[in-house]
Amino acid sequence: MASESISVTTSDDQTIQLSRKHAQMSQTINSMLEDSVGADQEAIPLPNVSSEVLKKVIDWCTHHENDPAPVEKVKKLNKKREYKAKNSTISDEWDKNFVNAELRVIVDILLAANYLDVKGLFELMCKHIANELKGKTPDQIRERFGIQDDLTEEDKAAMRKAWGATKNDS
Amino acid sequence: MQQLPIDLWNNIFSFLPTLDLCAPCFTSKILRDAACRTLDSHNTDIIHWHRYRKQLPTHNMEVVKWWRIAVREPTREEVMEATRSDQLDVVELLGWDDTELSLRHRTITRTHLCAPAWCAGDILFMAVANGSKKIITAVHERKNVVEALNEGLSNPYCMYNPLFGEEEDLEMMQWLCNEHVEGLPSVQWPVRLFEKIYSVGFRLAERGHRRVIAKLMQRIKMDDVKGSNMYNGAGQGGRIDMLLWLEENNVPYDPEHIQLFYFVSSMSTFEWALSHGVLPSHYLPFNDREEGTYEDALRVGCIENQFDLPTDVLCNPEITHADVEVVRSAIDDGYITRETMLQLPLLSTRDRFEMIQWMHERELLHENICLFVYRWDNVHIMSWLVERGYAIHDGDWIHSCAAIASPDLLLWLIETYDKGDEEMYDMLVKQAPWGPFNLPSMEFLLQRKWNESEEEVKTWMDDKPEEYLDVEWMTYLWENGRSL
């Protein structure tokens, strides 16, 4: 019978126990478990995830452990077959509190969610960062995300032409 | 903080509407590339996003101040969006009308040279539709709202302005009926206010705003024409409940003023129209197959009621957002043949090339299809059609095409049909004595003639000390450049 908990080793050499249910919310760990059936149950190495971030991931998994499995949504066009962005509203109050963290932590959780392939968490972090971007100027985005301005004047002129186009779509 | 790879930015950007992808494009190479990749994925068509005007963000003053300096001057869309979202400070920054715009931008953004791209009246209409007391009051402080309304009504854009929004707002109707409403100026509106805004009843019925309609009916004298307009609106909205309510309230109508094509959005409304003596008129639109209305309309209208569709019903059908499946069923039913001249201008950019290719493969494209397709301003589709033998006839056709062509399509016309630049420029000047010039293409021809840069030629457009560019000025630039 499979053990009820799984050991993982984080990038900072911490060994952390997580329940099988939570582990299976990560497609990455789930695949590793399936590949190692019958083998000695050694701690699964997670070299891209720190213990601090993994604890956050576990917190999220604990809150959402009874959620229905996420359905892969196909990008749909509206009635006029125009592109419509995905809804970035975060409706769950617990999730709203969860993303109320330093941006550094949010980015780390996003990267961890991507590596661990935890779809719901990944989507939540993407929504939060998208909402962070809304209504900000390029300077404000660079400052908020610690990004260097590596665009040349020619690059900016090309974008000015694209975004400054005045012809209406016929 | 760790930097995110481009694929993750793409996932993040999938949660942003187009206008919010503007600032990332000016932030860094990785954000620009991710944003452009996201924008490219919005359209599978070969027309690219960067050719067309996009609404810029109006979230706050900072972002508006940024794009006014870094990207372009405002257009009507941004002003209306700021009004819709009740941002008075942004409206004031963008301007109450287009008089502060550069001459070039003003000319290019106007639909009619003599009519402003937007005015206080437009802003008032939008503010009323959104119940924005703050902006209505600000309009009134600048210009009496009655005067602003009259100004708005003389602007062609207002014809399309709904005046009432999606949400029912009885308070606004009370105000427009000269009742006192807290937070709004006391106004005596003209007696014939609602007769000037002819689409009000239609829109209200379409949205099912019964209390507002009841108030409106106290204000205006209802007759067959106005009543029929409301029934048409209810039909368009697919609201059988609204149709029954209008009947219960003795709103008069005349079947001759009711158009069957408004009623095809649901079976119940369609059947109501048929049972009230409404006959098929000009055409039945091809709607989305998901609604099933095209087939339902044909089945009920033509089979069960044994209507003979007039022979011209589908010889000139307007396909708006039909998909291939809907057109396929019309072909199977014999309503679309090679003699059918499809009206496709409203077909979305995503669908255009697919539809053209699909119909060409089945030999169903009319030989004169280019006469309609040129309006898409798509050099790839035009050259694809011409290569396959669909004609563009010399003379008026080429002139009509050039009148709306972007520089790339104009160049293709010049090279394919052996036209001279001067002939094309002269035609572009003469084509637009009142409407807006095709300025980008005229500037392109001026660049070629005077061997000047795009930026330099653009500056020539702002040199004229008048309200808008005219034939005389554009002719002068062709003959003399900007040497004097």
pLDDT digit string (tens) for B382-421?
A: 999 999 998 887 777 888 888 889 999 999 999 999 999 9
Domain A5-68+87-161 CATH class label: alpha beta
Whether B247 and B205 have beta carbons less than 8 Å apart is answered as no
Highest mean pLDDT among A48-57, B40-49, B219-228, B470-479: A48-57
Q: Clarify whether residues B401 and B425 are in a common domain.
A: yes
How many CB atoms sit inside 10 A of residue B131's CB? Answer: 17
Residue B291 DSSP symbol: G
Q: Clarify whether residues B386 and B312 are in a common domain.
A: yes
With the C-alpha atoms ordered B121, B125, B128, B134, is the resulting torsion angle positive or negative? negative
The Cα–Cα gap between B253 and B274 comes to 14
Residue B447, Cβ density class (10 Å: 0-12 exposed, 13-18 middle, ≥19 buried)? middle
Interface pTM, i.e. ipTM: 0.92
Q: Which residues on chain A are in Cβ contact (under 8 Å) with B42?
A: 83
pLDDT (0 to 100) of residue B289: 44
Among residues B393, B414, B435, the one where a domain terminates is B393
- Residue B118: helix, strand or coil by DSSP? coil
Task: Please indicate whether residue B83 or residue B463 has the higher confidence score (pLDDT).
Answer: B83
pLDDT (0 to 100) of residue B350: 63
The Cα–Cα gap between B99 and B119 comes to 9
Q: Under an 8 A CB cutoff, do A166 and B66 touch?
A: no
**Whole-angstrom Cα Rg for chain B:** 25
The Cα–Cα gap between B264 and B230 comes to 16
The Cα–Cα gap between B205 and B212 comes to 9
The Cα of B167 is separated from the nearest Cα of chain A by a number of Å equal to 21
- Judge whether B107 is closer than 8 Å to chain A, CB to CB: no
Residue B216 lies in a domain: no
Mean pLDDT of B140-149: 88
Among residues B12, B40, B72, the one where a domain terminates is B72
- The residue type found at B426 is D
pLDDT (0 to 100) of residue B346: 52
Mean pLDDT of B203-223: 90
Q: Clarify whether residues B297 and B335 are in a common domain.
A: yes
Task: Please indicate whether residue A4 or residue B101 has the higher confidence score (pLDDT).
Answer: B101
pLDDT (0 to 100) of residue B339: 66
The Cα of A158 is separated from the nearest Cα of chain B by a number of Å equal to 10
- Residue A163: helix, strand or coil by DSSP? helix
The Cα–Cα gap between B8 and B2 comes to 12
**Mean pLDDT lowest among A7-11, B291-295, B408-412, B423-427:** B291-295
pLDDT (0 to 100) of residue A79: 47
- Residue A80 has its nearest CB partner, among B28, B70, B321, at B321
pLDDT (0 to 100) of residue B91: 97
Whether B299 and B330 have beta carbons less than 8 Å apart is answered as no
Among residues B393, B421, B449, the one where a domain terminates is B393
Which helix (H) or strand (E) segment holds residue A8: the answer is: strand A5-10
Q: Under an 8 A CB cutoff, do B12 and A141 touch?
A: no
Task: Please indicate whether residue B84 or residue B200 has the higher confidence score (pLDDT).
Answer: B84
Does pLDDT of A69 surpass 80? no
Whether B109 and B101 have beta carbons less than 8 Å apart is answered as yes
> What residue numbers bound the domain in which B334 lies?
292-393
**CA angle at B266 for the pair B260 and B271, rounded to the nearest 5°:** 55
| Interface list for B 267-306 with A (CB within 8 A) | 288
Mean pLDDT for chain B overall: 83
**Mean pLDDT lowest among A8-17, B24-33, B266-275, B452-461:** B266-275
The Cα–Cα gap between A148 and B53 comes to 28
- Residue B318: helix, strand or coil by DSSP? strand
pLDDT (0 to 100) of residue B376: 82
Domain count, chain B: 3
pLDDT (0 to 100) of residue B366: 79
**CA angle at B428 for the pair B427 and B432, rounded to the nearest 5°:** 110
φ, ψ of residue A7 to 5 degrees: the values are: -100, 135
How many CB atoms sit inside 10 A of residue B44's CB? Answer: 13
Q: Clarify whether residues B382 and B412 are in a common domain.
A: no
What does the CA dihedral A154, A156, A158, A160 come to, rounded to 10 degrees?
Answer: -140
3-state SS of chain B: helix, strand, coil percent to 5? 60, 0, 40
Residue B433 lies in a domain: yes
Give the pair of three-digit tokens for residue B255.
């079947």
Question: Is pTM, for the whole model, over 0.95?
Answer: no
- Residue A10: helix, strand or coil by DSSP? strand
The Cα–Cα gap between B454 and B451 comes to 9
Whether B324 and B355 have beta carbons less than 8 Å apart is answered as yes
**pLDDT per position as a tens digit, B313-350:** 444 455 555 556 666 766 776 666 766 666 565 555 66
With the C-alpha atoms ordered B25, B31, B37, B43, is the resulting torsion angle positive or negative? negative
For chain B, what is the HEC assignment? Answer: CCCCCHHHHHHHHCCCCHHHHHHHHCCCHHHHHHHHHHHHHHCCCCCCHHHCCCCCCCCCHHHHHHHHHHCCCCCHHHHHHHHHCCCHHHHHHHCCCHHHCCHHHHHHHCCCCCCCCCCHHHHHHHHHHCCCHHHHHHHHHHCCHHHHHHHHHCCHHHHHCCCCCCCCCHHHHHHHCCCCCCCCCCCCCCCCHHHHCCCHHHHHHHHCCHHHHHHHHHHCCCCHHHHHHHHHHHHHCCCHHHHHHHHHCCCCCCHHHCCHHHHCCCHHHHHHHHHCCCCCCCCCCECCHHHCHHHHHHHHHHHHCCCCCCCCCCCCCEECCCCHHHHHHHHHCCCCCCCCCCECCCCCHHHHHHHHHHHHHCCCCCCCCHHHHHHHCCHHHHHHHHHCCCCCCCCHHHHHHHHHCCHHHHHHHHHHCCCCHHHHHHHHHHHCCCCCCCHHHHHHHHHHHHCCCHHHHHHHCCCCCCCCCCHHHHHHHHHHCCCC
Nearest CA in chain A to B47: A169
Q: Clarify whether residues B52 and B33 are in a common domain.
A: yes
**pLDDT per position as a tens digit, B271-298:** 898 889 887 654 555 554 445 455 556 5
Residue B285 DSSP symbol: -
Q: Under an 8 A CB cutoff, do A141 and B31 touch?
A: yes
pLDDT (0 to 100) of residue B304: 56
**pLDDT per position as a tens digit, B235-275:** 989 899 999 999 999 999 998 889 887 887 777 888 898 88
A44: β partners? A8
- For helices A51-63 and A119-133, angle between their N-to-C axes, nearest 10 degrees: 100
| Interface list for B 358-377 with A (CB within 8 A) | 375-377
Does pLDDT of B356 surpass 80? yes
pLDDT (0 to 100) of residue A83: 65
Whether B43 and A83 have beta carbons less than 8 Å apart is answered as yes
How many CB atoms sit inside 10 A of residue B70's CB? Answer: 17
Which stretches within B85-144 are classed as H helix?
88-94, 103-109, 120-129, 133-142
Q: Which residues on chain B are in Cβ contact (under 8 Å) with A134?
A: 16, 20, 57, 59
**CA angle at A69 for the pair A64 and A74, rounded to the nearest 5°:** 120
Mean pLDDT of B48-62: 87
Mean pLDDT for chain A overall: 87
φ, ψ of residue A44 to 5 degrees: the values are: -80, 125
Q: Under an 8 A CB cutoff, do B440 and A150 touch?
A: no
pLDDT (0 to 100) of residue B89: 97
- Residue A45: helix, strand or coil by DSSP? strand
Residue B339 lies in a domain: yes
pLDDT (0 to 100) of residue B261: 77
Give the pair of three-digit tokens for residue B197.
């805004």
The Cα of A101 is separated from the nearest Cα of chain B by a number of Å equal to 13
Give the pair of three-digit tokens for residue B288.
């989305």
The Cα of A66 is separated from the nearest Cα of chain B by a number of Å equal to 25
Confidence of residue B444 (pLDDT cuts 50, 70, 90): very high
**Mean pLDDT lowest among A108-112, A162-166, B298-302, B430-434:** B298-302
- Beta strand A5-10 with A15-19 is antiparallel
Confidence of residue A39 (pLDDT cuts 50, 70, 90): low
Task: Please indicate whether residue B350 or residue B429 has the higher confidence score (pLDDT).
Answer: B429
Mean pLDDT of B442-465: 91
Whether B317 and B350 have beta carbons less than 8 Å apart is answered as no
Confidence of residue B47 (pLDDT cuts 50, 70, 90): low
Confidence of residue B164 (pLDDT cuts 50, 70, 90): confident
Q: Clarify whether residues B360 and B427 are in a common domain.
A: no
Q: Clarify whether residues B296 and B370 are in a common domain.
A: yes
Give the pair of three-digit tokens for residue B165.
């929004």
